[in-house]
């Protein structure tokens, strides 16, 4: 029987959901283009290859680069992928089109407000600035519009999650005994993690930073806002990664010509990220004197457990790829790699992104260790690591995945596979140059977050090569990355404007080799896992936050943070609980 397009194309089966996905992708790709341009300016300015802005404006570029790429691009793309995944895996449209467009509109409005506040720093006469970098905690202060836009953006993501939970609830009403479809399971566990982790940044922005920027309160506790940010700042890394993982687990095996190795292992991985990602944010604060060393040691220990889901993912994804290669005729222990579809830009981009993520994991282990972290914390090593994880594992997977997803929501064929293949390889090569140089520069002590990394009467030394060579690598890598983005946007634009095709892409996803029936049903008990995740967060953060409030001048500052101890935080909690208990007894009496 002939296959009609309605049997294959997502846009024909779910036209309204496809429109939502296209809208989120549009905002994501605009942010990608602007953020990549800012990144090119930074790379050329820092290396002194080409300076087209004043050094004071470098920090505006740096803030825009971080916010537009690490928040707007990644999360808008995530929302598009998740909306597609829920509709596809549940085989039903969203419960309310109006509600779906509401969260898209709210997120977009918040993005516009935040971007205007950032770009206002380039126009001195506006009296508007938001040069607070991606890590927007105090004592740096932005224009109120920046924080208000961020608050709207976060609330928009909450509504997006509610949209997907409503779809799941409606599906569950008609499928009471069924296991949660894998893609929907991935979306729901990721959003639970997001709800838990964004509590910190929401409290910081709404109760401290917005009133402070409006002049309603005189001061804030800088260490408290910093800790609340990193309470959110580490799990957001996994929030970025989860759509990449979703595509690695469910799309990449299909592109390889095989099937997912294990559905149960995939569920376990997402649950581990739900449980372990939020309680470890303090490992970003090893150099903060207001947090007791004991809490930092606990955070370091907990962080090491996050290696487990990453290693499980490496095993499962590689096993799935090997199965696909052998289905295509691959032989031998290693020669099967040659049977994989390396001419497919979607497959090649995702595979290269996974390889880069492995390298990023090794440098991340250095970041996670307290004593070693002291050596590289404020150096270019950290951006080098960051560009391997979110800059490649996430961004390259999203771009490569677009070559398979965009035709599904537009009904048109990919404009050019050769251009797509060139683009993903160019990104990989550019990142090898730039990230390698950043890591080596960090070992030489070259600082990050500065437009002028040179000091008078001081010369940085490298064991191998020279500082000049590192600068050339960073400039070359940044240029290749920008050109790669240009190729990507060109290819996607012409794909979207192309003629409709009877079969734009084979959208069918095969069943896993090991299905959900082989795993305990308790894995689908989302309420239980949510409770455990909340308990772990309470255990990890109650005492540190108590110590910060006690030693840092209260909720709104007023004093300088002093070195804290475990006993100080415990004493504060005991006194607070005792006072509350005595007050309650007095009321009862």
Helix, coil or strand: residue 412: strand
Does 29 participate in catalysis according to the annotation? no
Q: Is the peptide bond before 139 cis (omega within 30 degrees of 0)?
A: yes
Burial of 14 (0-12, 13-18, 19+ CB in 10 A): buried
* 270 and 85 Cβ atoms separated by less than 8 Å: no
- Catalytic entry in 14, 448, 482, 572: 448
- Catalytic entry in 386, 433, 541, 572: 386
Question: Which tokens is 512 given?
Answer: 């896993």
Separation between Cα atoms, residue 161 and residue 187, nearest integer Å: 8
- Catalytic entry in 259, 283, 385, 439: 385
Does 521 participate in catalysis according to the annotation? no
Q: How far is CA 181 from the centre of its chain?
A: 23
Identify the bridge partners of residue 500 per DSSP, sorted by sequence position: 412
Question: Which tokens is 454 given?
Answer: 């040179």
Question: Which tokens is 474 given?
Answer: 């960073």
* 18 and 97 Cβ atoms separated by less than 8 Å: no
Number of H helices, E strands in the chain: 22, 0
Nearest-5° angle of CA 375, CA 65, CA 20? 125
* 586 and 325 Cβ atoms separated by less than 8 Å: no
- Catalytic entry in 45, 65, 234, 284: 234
Does 83 participate in catalysis according to the annotation? no
* Residue 310: closest CA among 226, 245, 220: 245
- Catalytic entry in 387, 439, 440, 471: 387
Helix, coil or strand: residue 447: strand
Separation between Cα atoms, residue 53 and residue 451, nearest integer Å: 11
Question: Which tokens is 8 given?
Answer: 């294959």
Question: How many CB atoms lie under 10 A from the CB of residue 294?
Answer: 15
Helix, coil or strand: residue 555: coil
Does 238 participate in catalysis according to the annotation? yes
Does 58 participate in catalysis according to the annotation? no
- Catalytic entry in 51, 179, 326, 449: 449
Helix axes 307-327, 293-305, angle to 10 degrees: 20
Separation between Cα atoms, residue 30 and residue 27, nearest integer Å: 5
For residue 550, give every residue at least 6 positions away whose Cβ sits within 8 Å of its Cβ, in sequence order, or none. 568, 569, 571, 572
Separation between Cα atoms, residue 259 and residue 245, nearest integer Å: 15
* Residue 452: closest CA among 53, 7, 13, 33: 53
Largest CA distance in the chain: 81
Look at the chain and count its residues.
Answer: 589
- Catalytic entry in 147, 238, 488, 541: 238
412 phi and psi angles, rounded to 5 deg: -120, 155
Burial of 297 (0-12, 13-18, 19+ CB in 10 A): middle
Please list the active-site residues: 234, 238, 385-387, 448-449
């Amino acid at each position: 029987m002939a296959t009609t397009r309605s049997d294959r194309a997502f846009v024909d089966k779910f036209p309204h959901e496809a429109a939502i996905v296209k809208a989120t992708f549009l905002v994501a790709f605009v942010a990608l283009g602007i953020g990549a341009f800012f990144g090119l300016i930074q790379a050329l300015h820092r290396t002194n290859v080409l300076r087209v802005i004043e050094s004071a404006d470098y920090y505006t570029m740096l803030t825009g680069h971080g916010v537009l790429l690490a928040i707007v691009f990644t999360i808008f793309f995530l929302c598009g992928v998740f909306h597609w995944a829920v509709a596809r895996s549940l085989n039903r449209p969203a419960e309310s089109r109006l509600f779906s467009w509401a969260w898209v509109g709210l997120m977009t409005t918040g993005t516009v407000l935040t971007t205007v506040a950032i770009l206002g720093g380039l126009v001195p006469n506006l009296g508007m600035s938001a040069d607070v970098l991606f890590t927007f905690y105090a004592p740096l202060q932005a224009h109120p519009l920046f924080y208000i836009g961020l608050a709207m953006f976060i609330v928009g993501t909450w509504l997006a999650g509610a949209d997907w939970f409503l779809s799941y609830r409606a599906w569950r009403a008609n499928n009471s005994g069924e296991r949660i479809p894998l893609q929907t399971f991935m979306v729901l566990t990721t959003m639970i993690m997001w709800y838990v982790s964004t509590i910190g940044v929401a409290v910081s922005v709404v109760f401290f930073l917005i009133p402070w920027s409006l002049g309603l309160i005189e001061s804030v506790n800088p260490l408290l806002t910093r800790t609340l940010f990193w309470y959110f700042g580490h799990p957001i890394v996994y929030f970025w990664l989860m759509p990449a993982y979703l595509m690695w687990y469910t799309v990449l095996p299909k592109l390889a010509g095989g099937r997912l190795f294990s559905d149960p292992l995939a569920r376990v991985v997402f649950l581990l990220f739900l449980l372990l990602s939020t309680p470890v944010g303090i490992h970003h604060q090893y150099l903060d004197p207001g947090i007791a060393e004991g809490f930092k040691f606990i955070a370091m220990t907990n962080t090491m457990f996050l290696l487990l889901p990453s290693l499980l993912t490496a095993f499962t994804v590689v096993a799935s790829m090997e199965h696909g290669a052998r289905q295509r005729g691959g032989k031998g222990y290693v020669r099967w790699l040659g049977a994989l579809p390396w001419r497919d830009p979607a497959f090649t981009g995702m595979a290269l992104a996974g390889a880069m993520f492995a390298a990023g994991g090794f440098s991340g282990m250095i970041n996670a260790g307290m004593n070693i972290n002291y050596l590289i914390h404020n150096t270019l090593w950290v951006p080098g690591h960051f560009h391997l994880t979110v800059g490649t594992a996430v961004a390259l997977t999203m771009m490569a995945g677009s070559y398979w997803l965009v035709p599904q929501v537009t009904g048109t064929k990919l404009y050019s596979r050769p251009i797509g293949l060139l683009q993903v390889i160019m990104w990989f090569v550019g990142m090898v140059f730039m990230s390698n140089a950043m890591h080596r520069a960090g070992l030489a002590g070259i600082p990050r977050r500065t437009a002028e990394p040179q000091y008078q009467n001081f010369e940085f030394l490298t064991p191998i090569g020279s500082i000049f060579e590192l600068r050339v690598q960073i400039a070359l890598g940044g240029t290749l990355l920008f050109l790669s983005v240009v190729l990507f946007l060109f290819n996607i634009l012409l794909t979207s404007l192309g003629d409709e095709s009877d079969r734009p892409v084979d959208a069918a996803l095969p069943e896993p080799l090991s299905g959900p029936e082989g795993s305990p049903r308790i894995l689908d008990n989302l309420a239980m896992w949510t409770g455990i995740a909340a308990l772990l967060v309470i255990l990890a953060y109650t005492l540190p936050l108590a110590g910060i409030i006690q030693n840092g001048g209260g909720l709104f500052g007023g004093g300088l943070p002093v070195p804290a101890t475990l006993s100080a935080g415990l004493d504060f909690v005991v006194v607070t609980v005792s006072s509350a208990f005595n007050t309650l007894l007095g009321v009862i009496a």
